[in-house]
Amino acid sequence: MKDWEEEEEEAVKKMVKILTHRHLWILGEDRPELDAQAFSFLTVELLKSSLKKRKRDEKEKQEELEKEEQQDKEEEQQEKEEQKSASSSTLNASMTTATITTNDNAETVGDNWLLCDYNISGRFDELRTRAMDRYNSNKNTISCLDKLLLNHIMFVSESHTKSTLKFFPERVRSMIFESSKQEVRAIPSLVNEWVSDLNKIIRNGAQKEKKSKTAFKHTDVLQKALKAKAWEFEREAREKEDEELAIYASILSHISKKVMRWSSDKLGETTFIHNKLTDVLDCVFGSLNAAMFHYEMQDKFLSNICLKPDYLLTLRTSDGENLELYTMEAKVPEAHKGDVDFVKTSIMLKYMLDELISRGCSPEEAMVFGTLLRGNQIFQYQMSLRHSGIYMMQEVFVGFLPTSSKEIDRLVSLVPMMMDIMATFDKQAEMLEALPSKRKDHPFQRPTAFKLKIKGE
């Protein structure tokens, strides 16, 4: 036994020598409990004490993890029990008896929205009540979903972990998600050929650039080649007299002028949007009736207005009213990726939807859209009013913006979605023009309970 203790003592001394003379930086990184100034005075006793302390800390962490797992299991069990009782509960909502029917399996009992005998309205009100309790307890720690619930917003996403639907049973979750899905038009095969042609020019240009001694001159030649090819696309679209192809050709023509400047350099929000997405927005929305639709991009550095969207599309009625239909918020790649812009977008969509329905648009057909750029990742949302004041915000598209000239297809993939949005706007504009200019709060309208702070308040 004594020999074993001597060997252990010798091993510890050897470890001390290695740590103190060769790997002090490891201690500084991984052993914050040791004072960096005491490294040269490290002893066997101090090392043993530190090792024991680390074991105690690891044990405490493990106990905390086990405790959290147990709490999660208990909460999950409680959720299941409440879900069973929710389907049979009857709540008195403070709304009229008007209803919105959006699903063949949906029905209304009193003021409740039922789906396959499951009381969605009741469950949603329970979730809102819990969110309000958490807000009253500590408003600084409420989650992003809580903020949406406080505003009567149900967030639907294919990723159920970040969706309000995660609090609903699987069968109901699937039915709600499937009923809200919409088919997006396909990209014409000819457009895919156009993109392939541009990519081929860029690939060949990249190979020649490696051999070229004058990179700047070569880039200029490549830029001209892309412009010439894009001009051929526009001519081909005119010959076919196809409006959809004309939009794609116009977008590719604009892209060809700046594709060689795409990079991950630090940019302001306005320049970031202009370099990456403005060509798509201008070409698609620019085909709308200019007398009725107005779109603008904000420069917050100059305006100093923090709550104004970075991009906004407005419908101007013949009565002089302005109704917002599309909004965009952007965060440059190096910016903090918090949930402020996401919450801001949801509140803006809710306000836009209320304005649209209050003006007379049918609740069944009213729909507004928003885009959130988080660096080079793009999220597309749409919001509609489902039933009993439940504002359904659906994540309909998740993609990426191009970071180099080799990723033109990323930008082109956004066009079908924007075209579908444009078609919805045309339909809504036609409907609103046929209605008398009367405005009143619609029966399903719900107040905004959680607001963002305005700069300077």
pLDDT digits (tens, 9 = 90+) for 328-345: 888 777 665 678 888 889
Work out the pLDDT band at 391, boundaries 50, 70, 90.
very high
pTM for the whole structure: 0.68
More confident residue, 104 or 208: 208
Q: Please state, rounded to an integer, the average pLDDT across all residues of the chain.
A: 74
Q: What is the DSSP string of 341-399?
A: HHHHHHHHHHHHHHHHHHTT--TTT--EEEEEEETTEEEEEEEEEEETTEEEEEEEEEE
User: Residue 153's beta-bridge partner residues?
Assistant: 391
Q: Which pLDDT band, with edges at 50, 70 and 90, does 380 fall under?
A: very high
Are 373 and 277 in contact by the 8 Å Cβ rule? The answer is yes
Report whether pLDDT(293) > 80. no
What local confidence, expressed as pLDDT, does residue 443 receive?
61
Specify the range with the lowest mean pLDDT, choosing from 112-116, 128-132, 139-143, 248-252. 112-116
Is the pLDDT score of 296 beyond 70? no
CA–CA distance, 335 with 349 (Å, rounded to integer)? 23
Mean pLDDT of 211-240: 77
The residue type at 101: T
The stretch 312-324 carries a mean pLDDT of 80
170 token code pair: 């699987």
The whole-number pLDDT of residue 198 equals 87
